[in-house]
A and B are shown apart, each in its own frame.
Chain A
Amino acid sequence: MTNSSEPGSEVREVRLGATRAEGGTREVSYVIGGERDLPFLGNRPDRLLVALEVCDDPRFSPPVVRDYVGDLANNPDEWARAAERTYGADLVRLNFTSTKQRRFDAFGEIATTMDQVLAATIRPLIVEGSSEPELDSEVFRRCGEAGEGERLLLGTAEADRYRSVAAAALAYGHAVIAQSPIDINLAKQLNILLRETGIPRDRIVIDPYTGALGYGFEYSYSVMERVRLAGLAGDADLAMPMISAPADTLSVREVREAAPADRDAMAVAWEFYTAYSAFVAGASIVCVRHPLSVKKLREVLEVNRR
C-alpha cells in the first residue's frame, strides 16, 4: 500500500525551450522532472516552474485579470514581456483564446502572434493552441511551425483529439501536454496513444485536469498523487512530469462576488492555495492567471529551496 511511496524509479526528465546553442532563440531552457521521491522530499525543488497565462483575445480572460493588467491585455506580446520581466513568471502560457469565438478563421494572425510573443520573451513558452476540434489541424500546425526549434510545450492533447497536436509536435520538435479528465487510467491510456503516434516519453507532460479549490480540487490532488506514486513505482507510461492549470479558479463565486477592494487579494489567495497544493501533490508546472499569484508562488518556492 505505502511501499509505492518509497524512493524508486525516476520521473522522466522533459526539456522545455531551446537556447541558441540548442537550436532555438531562448536565453534559458528548463529541465523538469527527474524526481525520485514525493514532492519536497527529494532534492529538486529548483525545478518547479510558475507559468502566467497570456490570452491573445482578452475577452476570454477573467475580469479580475483584465482589470489588473489594463492595456497590456490588448497586446499579447507586451503582456508576455511583462509576465517575464515585471511579474517574474518562469514562463508564459500563451492561450489562443481567439479560437473560442464562433466561425474563427484568422489563421494568419496565429503565426503573427506567435512571432511577436517569441520575440518579446526570452524564456521557454507554453502554447495552448486550438480550443475547437475542427480548428485543431490548422491552428496546431501554425503554432508548431512558428515555434520550430524552440521546443515549445504544446497543448492540449485529449483522448479524442490528439492527432493534430501530436503531428505538429512531431513535425516541429515540440513537447506535448496530455490532458485527461481527473482519471489515472485515462491519463495512462492517452500517453500510450501519444507514444504510438511517435511522440517519445520524454516529450510528454501530463495534465490531470485541475478543478478549483473548493470546487473539486481534492479529486485532482489525489489523481496527481496517484500518478506520481505510479511513476515512482515504475510505471513508465505515468512517469512524466505534471502540469496543473486550474481553469476556473478565478471564476469561482468567492472571487466574482468579492468586494471590489478585496477582489485581487481573493483572486490571489484562491489561486495561490490551489497552485501551491498542486505542487505538493506533484505538479512540476503550475499555471496561474493573476500576476500577483506568480510573485507569491515564486517567493514560496525560493524559501523552499533552503
Chain B
Amino acid sequence: MKALEIYKLLPKTNCKKCGYPTCLAFAMKLATGKVEVEACPDLDSGTKALLGGATRPPVRLVEVGVGERSVAVGEEFVLFRHEKTFYHPPGIMVQVSDTWPEEQVRSIVETVRERVVHRVGMDLVLTGVAVRDESGSPDRFAETVALAGGGSALPLVLIASDPVSHEAALAVAGHYRPLVHAATEENWQDIVALAKRYGCPLAVRAADPAGLTALAGNCADAGVSDLMLDPAPRSLRDYIAAATEIRKAAIGRTEPALGYPIFLDTTPLGETDAALAAGILKYAGIIVVPRSLLPP
C-alpha cells in the first residue's frame, strides 16, 4: 500500500500519540514497514487488520534480550542484498551446557561479554549465550541459566525440550526476554503458555516447512507473536534449501506463518565455520555456535 492510500484510512488528527509529528509521517513509515499499525491508538479493529496485513514487514522484527546488548532480527524485505539491502545482522550465540563445571560456563560467558574486535570504526561483539539442557534436571538447567547472568547482561537462548526445565529457567531469566527454544509438535502447548506468560520470544522447530507453518500458526493463535523458525536441518545443504524456501514464502507473502526470523543451531552440523557462513549469508536471525568457535 502506498503512503497516501494509508493516510486516507488514518484519523488525520496529527495527535502525535504514535510518536510521529503528523498522520502523514506515520503513514509514510507504515508504507515502508518501519512501524507497527498498533502505534496508532485511534484506529478501529477493522482498519487495523486491513493496514496490518498490507504494511507489516514480510519478516517480523523479533528482539532477544534487554538493554544495550539486546539483538533485534528479522524485518527484512528482500531475498538478495543487491535488491535493496539486509537490515539486521544475525545474533551469534555461544553454546554452554548445564552439565559443564561452573568455572567453564563462567569463563565462556565472560569471553562472550568482553570480547570485542575493533574494525574500521565498528566494534564487533558476540551476541549472547545459548544454554542447553543436557542434564535433564530442571534445577541444574535453571542454575546454569543463572550462572550465565540470567539474561541481565547478555541475551540468552534457552534450549530444552522439557517444559518443566523451561519453567524453572524462566523463573530465573523470564524478565530478560530470553529466546525459548523450542516448541515442537509434541510440546508446543505447554511451551507456548510459558512464553506467553513471560512475554518471551519463542522458536518453533520442525523438520519440514509444512510442519513449521502449522506450528507457527498455532503458536501465533495461542498469543505469542514473537516467533522464530528452526527448520531442524540435517545438513548444510538442507539448511540452505530450507532457509531459502522459508524466506521466499515470507518475502512473497505466500505464507504469513513463515514471516519470522530463522533460527540455526550449527552444533549438530559439524562444519561450524561453513555452517556459520551459510547462516550469515542465507537468512539466519539467530545462530548458535559451539564454544570451539571462540578464540583460545
A interface residue numbers (CB < 8 A to B): 1-2, 5, 38-41, 45, 214, 218, 221-223, 225-226, 229, 269, 272-273, 276-277, 280-281, 296, 299-300, 303-304, 306
Contacts and interface: CB of A to CB of B under 8 A. Distances in A.
B267 to A, nearest CB: 15
Query: Which of A40, A221, A222, A277: most chain B Cβ within 10 A?
Result: A40
6 contacts: A40-B236, A40-B240, A221-B81, A272-B273, A273-B277, A276-B277
B235 A304 contact: yes
Contact of A40 (B78, B119, B241): B241
Given A225-B80, A226-B82, A300-B236, 15 more contacts: A1-B78, A1-B83, A2-B252, A5-B79, A5-B80, A5-B248, A38-B244, A39-B240, A45-B237, A269-B273, A276-B278, A277-B277, A277-B281, A299-B271, A300-B274
A236 B67 CA distance: 52
B167 to A, nearest CB: 37
Given A2-B252, A300-B274, A303-B270, A218 B81 contact: yes
B88 interface: no
B43 interface: no
Interface of B: 78-83, 119, 235-237, 240-241, 244, 248, 251-252, 270-271, 273-274, 277-278, 281-282
B207 to A, nearest CB: 15
B79 A280 contact: no
A124 B255 CA distance: 46
B76 to A, nearest CB: 13
A221 B81 CA distance: 9
Given A38-B244, A41-B240, A304-B236, A2 B79 contact: yes
Contacts of A45: 237
Contacts of B277: 273, 276-277, 280
B274 A225 contact: no
Contacts of B81: 218, 221-222
Query: Which of B83, B236, B274: most chain A Cβ within 10 A?
Result: B274
B247 to A, nearest CB: 10
A214 B119 contact: yes
A229 B235 contact: no
Nearest to A2: B79
Given A229-B80, A273-B273, A300-B236, A280 B241 contact: no
Nearest to B280: A277
A222 B80 CA distance: 8
Contacts of B274: 272, 276, 300, 303
Contact of A222 (B82, B244, B251, B271): B82
A214 B119 CA distance: 9
Given A41-B244, A280-B278, A296 B273 contact: yes
A5 B248 CA distance: 10
**The 3 A-B residue pairs with the shortest CB-CB distance in the complex, in nearest-first order:** A222-B82, A300-B274, A40-B240
A226 B236 CA distance: 22
Nearest to B274: A300
Contacts of B273: 269, 272-273, 276, 296, 300
Contacts of B251: 2
Contacts of A214: 119
B237 A40 contact: yes
A258 to B, nearest CB: 11
Contacts of B271: 299-300, 303
Contacts of B78: 1
Given A214-B119, A273-B273, A276-B277, A304 B237 contact: yes
A174 to B, nearest CB: 32
Given A5-B79, A300-B271, A306 B248 contact: no
B248 A2 contact: yes
Contacts of B278: 276, 280
A280 B281 contact: yes
Contacts of A1: 78, 83
Given A41-B240, A273-B273, A303 B235 contact: yes
Contacts of A221: 81, 281
Contacts of A306: 235, 237
A215 B210 CA distance: 40
A278 to B, nearest CB: 10
A222 B81 CA distance: 7
A48 B98 CA distance: 40
Contacts of B79: 2, 5
Contacts of A269: 273
Nearest to A302: B271
Contact of A41 (B83, B119, B241): B241
A32 to B, nearest CB: 18
Nearest to B80: A225
Contacts of A2: 79, 248, 251-252
A199 B14 CA distance: 66
B86 to A, nearest CB: 10
Contacts of B80: 5, 222, 225-226, 229
Nearest to B83: A1
A303 B82 contact: no
Contacts of B252: 2
Contacts of B270: 303
Contacts of A226: 80, 82
A45 B235 CA distance: 13
